[in-house]
Structure 1
Amino acid sequence: MKTKPIVAGILAGATALVGCSSFWAEKAITSSPSQLAIISDVGDAPQRMMLDQNWDDKTRMDFWFTPQGARILPYTWFVWLEQKDKQTLFRSAEHMESLRYLPMAESSANPGGLPIGFTKEVDKDSRTAWMGLNCAACHTNQIDYGDKKILVDGAPTLANFVGFFSELVGALNQTYEDDAKFDRFARNVLQDDYSQSKAKALRKQLGEISFALSERENVNRLPTNYPQDFTSYARLDAFTNIQNAGTAFALDDVTNRNAPIAPVSYPFLWGTHQSDVVQWNASAPNTPVVGPLVRNIGEVVGVFGHLQIKKAPWWQRLFGHDFRYRSTVDMINLGHLEAWVKDLRSPQWLDTPLPPINMAQAAKGEVLFNTHCQQCHQVIPRAREGEKYTAVKTPVREIGTDPDMAWYADNHMAKTLILEGSKEGVLFGSPFGAEAPAIKIPVNGVVGLVLHDPLTALKAGLIPMEDKEKHLSGGSNAETIKSYVQQHLAEREAIAADNAPPPKDGTEQFIEKDLQGLVYKARPLNGIWATAPYLHNGSVPNLWELLQKPENRVASFWVGSRKFDPVNVGFVTTEGLNEFQVLTPAGAIQAGNSNRGHEAGTDLSDDEKRQLIEYMKML
């Protein structure tokens, strides 16, 4: 079944409505944040301790609130939207904290007092303001210890995005359906511009956006045999969300989807720019100039970047342009965000009010780390964190951790539809067949966006680069960016070839999932103490449990608490907002939730494990 051309229609319709009828309201909100706080009473943001991570206050605020082109709904709608079954605002500090986003006070960078990573972006043509997310929403966290709240930039969030989105859709749908709720919403959004005719137009547009977001929720639904809290706090199947943004929405067929059944922990950001590859399965090269740009555009596409791939008009096809690639992605801002991430450094335990490290124990732990851990996890001194490094890629069969993320990243398939017969890399590569690995479709879309606007892409890609002249060829900007795209695609294909299973010779025993060739990336462990829960799928709550024999690790624990456990190094597991279950009710390991594997250090004595943990606090 085909979906309506929702993205274009809704963006245009909301632009017409919000851009004209509520411009005064937007202006009032943005010009008077203190008055907004009085009117809306969203509650106070907590006072937090900031760590020295090589960012000044301006860089930190810029990273938190710079829009990257993700557009969820009109900004004033989100500012005044009430929660479902309540008159309390959706963006209230208490509600955002319950979803484990990080409430913030109003400021010039954040006039609506939205949480960290929730952005305001004004369309340059229509002047419509949109609410969206940027990378800070998923890669900033707070650690609570005693009465101290410690903010860690670049750390994996504890947030529940699926819960947030489900509640947002529910609130929008109820606002559309309930007369009294809609009347409050309309009067707040339209303010002095309110009239019955404009309220009617607003309600129509609200219904259309509610439908579009409900459709997105349905495309990314879990199979009925999975527990409905399967994704929950501190993890998300972002990979499949990105795939579906390409296969189901960019290609305009909501049946062309895969289920997001391999959620992973949000990775920490420090060291991301410096690594030769990114993603848990080491599938994306950090090719100079375009590597980080392609990675970041792909991330935006997965969180409401509104990618569209359409057949080009006949007259464009005469010049070899078969498709039109469109998106709301802001490449220049992505370049700035990457530059800030490049400068980000890991958090240091010694800078916090956490209990002092036992240095004698840590010294013994260093020897144990060098013996049992360093072959996979490099130790990078603080002064060298800005240098490039080559990540260790560990075979999934060898590491033994849950294989689903790596397997589905390679084995999710989708129809190519209008792309069939065209080149996978737009200008490069083999032609698409009727079906292809699902990830290749959003990659095609991202490459199409880069090649569609090579001047902007080159400018954005060069922002984080120190030696910009080194990365400029003697040809045109279009040829320069084209050469980097070609290099990037060649490196992606080389990774895929390296990770491909060898041909069957007829003697290999059949297994349910063929794990040959699949790998997970082993990163340096700088700041590892601030990144619980552990393993790529968040199935182990703390470092102490990670050092237990896999079969003896806890099979259930609470997630969502910010209270830090400095002894076991992670968050407390006896309280929280959702219970993580390794096992199904029948006692089998839940697919995607395995806590097995990663046996390094598990043969040590308890005293040696404590020594190793003390040392890892130093990293």
Structure 2
Amino acid sequence: MSARKARIFLIVFISAIVLLLGAWLVLLRDVPQERSNDPAWTFNHGSIGNEAAQGLPYWIWRVLPAVVPDLLPGNQRGFSAIGVAWEPGAQLPVGFSQRTVGVIPRVAPNCAFCHQGTYRLDLEDPETIVNAGPGTRVNVQGFLRFLVAAGQDERFKSSLIMEAIKARYDMPLWERLLYRFVLIPGTRAALKKQAAQFKWTDNRPDWGPGRIDPFNPVKFANLKMSDDGTIGNSDIMPLWDLQSAAATEQRRFAVHWDGLSTDVHETVMSGAIGDGLTYRSYPVVARNLAAIEDFVNLVQPPDSPFSSRLDPSSKFYVDAEAVAQGARIYEQDCASCHDVKGERYRMPIPIAELGTDRHRLDMWTREAKERYSDYEDDHDWGLQYFQKTDGYLAVDLKGLWLRGPYLHNGSVPNLRHLLTRPAERPTTFWRGSDLVDAENGGFVSAEGADPYRYTIRVDTTVIGNANTGHVWGTDLDEVQKEALLAYLKTL
């Protein structure tokens, strides 16, 4: 090679290195999120390291509901349309983190996106946020479908999005150029790719508010498994007092509806991995994940509003004698499974005995267990506690008044109907409200009962929605049922 060619090659090589380094600094460099000493804030807004994989540039995320408002669920306004809660004065709703990648802040969902609760005691009450509660209103699929539809909409273009940004923020020139020519086209392409990634959901029953298929997305996207047609639709669980699931010298306790893991730490890690955490971003968010794990181990549900100490005229008054009788029935018929000291606590009850809809159970396969245990050849995540079971978990009943609808797939609208024989349970009802049903336990579920919330009709004849099984308590006489119901409302 001549000296002239060598110089040209060297210039080109150095230029390429500079360009790649510049692109990494501008677009890809992981920047730690500012830390908070508030564990609830970290749970609600702490990064789990998925901004590069799942995040949207902040200003695209911010203006998208205004650019394509008709694509939001129920034609509602803003991100409240997907059922997320907002703390007073917060920049982001609960369940979203903001972290800078390169030089651009990005917004991505975190653990609290699903695991957030709200309730109202009266129709006109403002919502009360319940940290780490069951996401009974969160419309995860609605959010995904909004993004997919937006990415394929002709309005998703630089001119319209930049116009919407300009109305809210005097963006400097360098940032305008980056958004207009790199971030907006790149986000549009990524959302089109996501459309193909979630195409399989078109052939399954809708999740609806408060439900998610948690592991089929991991199977098909992360583990590269073929579509097996399984349905994993299940209610979003609360993450309260998970220290009660810590292993002892005698036994390990399971987590997830079907007990697919027996380790809380691995549950936190695998959840973050499924949502886009990589081993490259892990060192940046390791403290956040540790704080989130500590939080879910200790956080407790709020006290029930149902009490015998209230004025008997209150709709939340429960008779003390009935509660005491119900407690005795619970101890005799329910505690062995649902009490933290029960011999079947956090153990999967065989599906043949339980009799509930088995689709969520069949979704998690032995192949999925093996593949997730060996996830990523180039990094050892140390996952060793996945398992395949033959039933659903017997969990504690803390905060039961906030967990409606009931059963793992949310197929029974309230506690009263949970104590009726399956054939007598309603085949249709409405879910998505956070207005407490003082009479029946859970949340109101009649059509139009809560005009302030986006609710959907549940049909239990649809595959994956069966309301069968869990017949414990259904053979009690009416007096005993009322007593047990009174007690369960207080949990």
Identify the TM-score tier after normalising by the shorter chain.
0.7 to 0.9
Alpha-carbon separation, structure 2, partners of 1:398 and 1:364 = 27
User: Relative to structure 1, is the Cα distance of residues 533 and 448 closer, same or farther in structure 2, using a 3 angstrom cutoff?
Assistant: farther
1:579 matches 2:457: yes
Q: Structure 2: which 5+ runs fail to align?
A: 1-21, 246-252, 449-453
3-state DSSP class of the match of 2:222? helix
Alpha-carbon separation, structure 1, partners of 2:192 and 2:428 = 31
- Aligned pair partner of 1:343 in 295, 298, 308: 298
Identical positions, percent: 23
3-state DSSP class of the match of 1:278? coil
String of CA shifts for 1:239-261, please: whole Å, max 9, x gaps: 1122233124xxxxxx8455572
Alpha-carbon separation, structure 2, partners of 1:263 and 1:89 = 21
C-alpha deviation, 1:236, in angstroms: 0.2
- Aligned pair partner of 2:46 in 66, 83, 94: 66
3-state DSSP class of the match of 2:79? helix
Any conservation in 1 of the 2:354–2:469 contact (CA below 8 Å)?
yes
- Aligned pair partner of 2:255 in 278, 298, 316: 278
Q: Structure 1: which 5+ runs fail to align?
A: 1-11, 24-29, 31-55, 249-254, 287-291, 308-324, 382-387, 412-436, 452-484, 500-517, 584-589
- Aligned pair partner of 2:348 in 393, 398, 422: 393
3-state DSSP class of the match of 2:457? strand
Q: Which residue is equivalent to 1:372? A: 333
Any conservation in 1 of the 2:401–2:442 contact (CA below 8 Å)?
yes
- What is the identity, as a one-letter code, of the residue corresponding to 2:254? V
C-alpha deviation, 1:363, in angstroms: 0.5
C-alpha deviation, 1:196, in angstroms: 11
3-state DSSP class of the match of 1:142? strand
The equivalences for 1:211-250 within 5 A come to 211-222=189-200, 226-227=204-205, 230-248=206-224
C-alpha deviation, 1:130, in angstroms: 1.5
Q: Which residue is equivalent to 1:332? A: 287
C-alpha deviation, 1:73, in angstroms: 1.1
1:520 matches 2:490: no
C-alpha deviation, 1:375, in angstroms: 2.3
- What is the identity, as a one-letter code, of the residue corresponding to 1:81? L
Q: Which residue is equivalent to 1:166? A: 145
Any conservation in 2 of the 1:247–1:441 contact (CA below 8 Å)?
yes
User: Relative to structure 1, is the Cα distance of residues 196 and 403 closer, same or farther in structure 2, using a 3 angstrom cutoff?
Assistant: closer
- What is the identity, as a one-letter code, of the residue corresponding to 1:548? T
1:191 matches 2:170: yes
- What is the identity, as a one-letter code, of the residue corresponding to 2:256? Q
User: Relative to structure 1, is the Cα distance of residues 153 and 93 closer, same or farther in structure 2, using a 3 angstrom cutoff?
Assistant: farther
- Aligned pair partner of 2:80 in 97, 117, 137: 97
C-alpha deviation, 1:179, in angstroms: 6.1
- What is the identity, as a one-letter code, of the residue corresponding to 1:444? D
Any conservation in 2 of the 1:14–1:74 contact (CA below 8 Å)?
no
Q: Which residue is equivalent to 2:19? A: none
The equivalences for 1:45-444 within 5 A come to 58-71=38-51, 72-86=55-69, 94-106=77-89, 110=90, 113-123=91-101, 126-146=102-122, 147-148=124-125, 149-157=127-135, 158-174=137-153, 177-178=156-157, 180-185=159-164, 187=166, 191-194=170-173, 198=177, 202-222=180-200, 226-227=204-205, 230-248=206-224, 256-257=226-227, 261-275=231-245, 276-286=253-263, 292-305=264-277, 307=278, 326=280, 330-350=285-305, 355-378=316-339, 391-410=346-365, 437-444=367-374
Any conservation in 1 of the 2:68–2:155 contact (CA below 8 Å)?
no
Q: Which residue is equivalent to 1:530? A: 402
Alpha-carbon separation, structure 2, partners of 1:87 and 1:520 = 39
Alpha-carbon separation, structure 2, partners of 1:540 and 1:87 = 31
- What is the identity, as a one-letter code, of the residue corresponding to 1:371? Q
Alpha-carbon separation, structure 1, partners of 2:156 and 2:129 = 39
Alpha-carbon separation, structure 2, partners of 1:195 and 1:69 = 26
- What is the identity, as a one-letter code, of the residue corresponding to 1:141? G
3-state DSSP class of the match of 2:335? coil
TM-score (norm 1): 0.64
C-alpha deviation, 1:267, in angstroms: 0.9
User: Relative to structure 1, is the Cα distance of residues 407 and 87 closer, same or farther in structure 2, using a 3 angstrom cutoff?
Assistant: closer
- What is the identity, as a one-letter code, of the residue corresponding to 2:484? L
Q: Which residue is equivalent to 1:478? A: none
C-alpha deviation, 1:17, in angstroms: 5.8
3-state DSSP class of the match of 1:238? coil
Alpha-carbon separation, structure 1, partners of 2:466 and 2:210 = 16
- What is the identity, as a one-letter code, of the residue corresponding to 2:38? K
C-alpha deviation, 1:566, in angstroms: 1.5
C-alpha deviation, 1:448, in angstroms: 5.8
C-alpha deviation, 1:359, in angstroms: 1.5
String of CA shifts for 1:527-558, please: whole Å, max 9, x gaps: 11111111111111111111110111111111
Any conservation in 2 of the 1:394–1:520 contact (CA below 8 Å)?
yes
Alpha-carbon separation, structure 2, partners of 1:330 and 1:272 = 21
3-state DSSP class of the match of 1:104? coil
TM-score (norm 2): 0.79
3-state DSSP class of the match of 1:141? strand
Any conservation in 1 of the 2:411–2:466 contact (CA below 8 Å)?
yes
- What is the identity, as a one-letter code, of the residue corresponding to 1:103? W
- What is the identity, as a one-letter code, of the residue corresponding to 1:234? G
Alpha-carbon separation, structure 2, partners of 1:389 and 1:372 = 12
Alpha-carbon separation, structure 1, partners of 2:399 and 2:260 = 23
Any conservation in 2 of the 1:547–1:609 contact (CA below 8 Å)?
yes
User: Relative to structure 1, is the Cα distance of residues 282 and 226 closer, same or farther in structure 2, using a 3 angstrom cutoff?
Assistant: closer
Any conservation in 1 of the 2:157–2:185 contact (CA below 8 Å)?
no
Any conservation in 2 of the 1:402–1:593 contact (CA below 8 Å)?
yes
User: Relative to structure 1, is the Cα distance of residues 89 and 78 closer, same or farther in structure 2, using a 3 angstrom cutoff?
Assistant: farther
